[in-house]
Amino acid sequence: MKACKLILLIALLLFPFSSVFALDCETEKKFSITKDHWLHKVEPELQFYSIFYLSSKIVNDCLNEIPSQDISALRIKLIETVGSDMVVQIETEYDYLFDTKDAFRELELNIMDEAFLDKLRSHEFSSNYEAPKI
């Protein structure tokens, strides 16, 4: 009986702390980025793919799903292009549910522009990319 009470007490004490670290999948927050953030300094195609990756990652995390092979491959391409430090930084900074359209607007990306869409379709990730310093 004492063991059950002890386990129940520990569970009740840990429960409030676990929600502090949990991802809020019910409340969408406004996407905001400072003007001097390194994401503003990369080419628009990388901005698009970074936001697309973050958005997909959050949805997968909220649904407790394993990322698709395409999203995992995109993460690897982003790491090879801008570096793991920068990818981890944006994964940490933007670990919340946000409207993807707001993020594109915040980065001044016109995803309806046909010329931009053509650039996205033909974009090649490069490991020789000169990534900005954090």
User: What is the share, in percent, of the chain residues with pLDDT greater than 90?
Assistant: 54
Structural domain count of the chain: 1
The closest alpha carbon to 129, from 60, 67, 43, belongs to 43
Residue 105 identity (one-letter amino acid): R
127 domain residue, yes or no: no
Task: Show the domain range for 55.
Answer: 24-122
The closest alpha carbon to 126, from 57, 68, 79, 61, belongs to 79
95 domain residue, yes or no: yes
125 — pLDDT class (breaks 50, 70, 90): confident
11 domain residue, yes or no: no
Range 35-48 average pLDDT: 92
Range 67-85 average pLDDT: 93
The pTM (predicted TM-score) of the whole model is 0.76
9 domain residue, yes or no: no
Range 75-101 average pLDDT: 92
pLDDT of residue 23: 65
